[in-house]
């Protein structure tokens, strides 16, 4: 059994430059690190691959540059089973993220938007979508356009944090944030449903500001938290699109996020539907 739904992801596509270091540097400090990797990334692309790994039919809406990095990202999405027909090639360079990861798996990220600043949404891109999932690494106008055009479930991973128009908050069926993002964004108490991820403590669902469900993740050995939030966002969106109860969707998403921390990288760490269900069965 898989997530047999059509999900359109409107979001960022990046080349991730990942540097392992013994600890995250303080301001003005240089830390000598270890292995450096270049891997596919971007919250949008990560969430598209995460949903595809869970068995959903996924279409990606985004922008890349006319460069090798962009072609590499599109090839990777195709290989993951994502429909790339709505990815535009622009004159701006492909977005790039510099990611520092310490020995405990914590990270710091700096993002250059590049072609992600050129994302727009055409009505044809959302045809047939059971759910639309987007983030804030693209222009807010593109997010608002996706919200206006979406016929089914509309989910927003409000990261990186920024103030949101009240009309956008009201349109969202689900908003996904971590604890820091929740504290930084005003007006989330007016949202229909907010999933707040809490790291090793799991996640809490809030309806109009009031807690309605909590789930703890299975015990894992975390080595890299990059991509964990994307696995969570894709998983809970896919489950809700399939009509699952919010409590079950939250538990499934927590397990998906936890499994993503057990491997290096973002897209390379994302679990399959079978892996997540096996993890949940083992934890029960």
Q: What is the C-alpha separation between 106 and 157, in angstroms, rounded?
A: 20
CB 270 within 8 A of CB 43: no
Nearest-10 crossing angle of helices 43-53, 228-241? 50
Q: What is the C-alpha separation between 134 and 47, in angstroms, rounded?
A: 9
Nearest-10 crossing angle of helices 273-283, 246-260? 100
Rg (CA), the chain: 17
E strands, the chain, where?
Answer: 6-10, 14-20, 36-41, 57-65, 83-90, 95-101, 107-112, 131-135, 153-157, 174-178, 194-197, 203-207, 210-215
Q: What is the C-alpha separation between 48 and 202, in angstroms, rounded?
A: 22
Q: Which two tokens stand for residue 226?
A: 């990059």
59: closest CA among 39, 41, 80, 43?
A: 80
Neighbours of 27 (CB within 10 A): 4
Alpha-carbon 230 to chain mean position:
3
E strands, 161-239, where?
Answer: 174-178, 194-197, 203-207, 210-215
- Owner of token pair 């000598």: 32
**Residues in a beta bridge with 215:** 203
Active-site option among 16, 173, 224, 230: 230
For the question of residue 230 being annotated catalytic, the response is yes
Any idea which residues carry the catalytic annotation? Answer: 230
């Amino acid at each position: 059994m898989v997530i047999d739904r059509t999900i359109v992801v409107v979001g960022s596509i990046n080349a991730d430059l990942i540097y392992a270091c013994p600890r995250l540097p303080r301001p003005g400090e240089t830390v000598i690190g270890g292995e450096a990797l270049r891997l596919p990334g971007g919250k949008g692309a990560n969430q598209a691959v995460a949903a595809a790994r869970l068995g959903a039919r996924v279409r990606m809406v985004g922008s890349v540059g006319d460069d090798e990095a962009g072609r590499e990202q599109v090839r990777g999405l195709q290989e993951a089973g994502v429909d790339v027909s709505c990815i535009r090639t622009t004159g701006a360079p492909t977005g790039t993220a510099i990611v520092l990861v310490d020995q405990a798996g914590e990270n710091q990220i700096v993002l250059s938007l590049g072609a992600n600043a050129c994302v727009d949404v055409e009505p044809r891109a959302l045809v047939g979508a059971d759910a639309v999932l987007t983030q804030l690494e693209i222009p807010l106008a593109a997010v608002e356009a996706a919200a206006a055009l979406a016929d089914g479930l509309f989910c927003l991973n409000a990261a990186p944090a920024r103030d949101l128009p009240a009309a956008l908050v009201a349109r969202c069926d689900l908003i996904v944030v971590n604890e820091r993002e929740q504290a930084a964004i005003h007006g989330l108490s007016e949202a229909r449903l907010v999933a707040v991820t809490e790291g090793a403590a799991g996640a809490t669902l809030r309806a109009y500001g009031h807690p309605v469900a909590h789930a703890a993740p299975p015990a894992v050995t975390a080595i890299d938290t990059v991509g964990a939030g994307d696995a969570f966002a894709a998983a809970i969106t896919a489950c809700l699109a399939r009509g699952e109860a919010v409590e079950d969707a939250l538990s499934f998403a927590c397990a998906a996020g936890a499994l993503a921390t057990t491997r290096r990288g973002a897209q390379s760490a994302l679990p399959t539907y079978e892996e997540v269900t096996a993890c949940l069965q083992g934890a029960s």
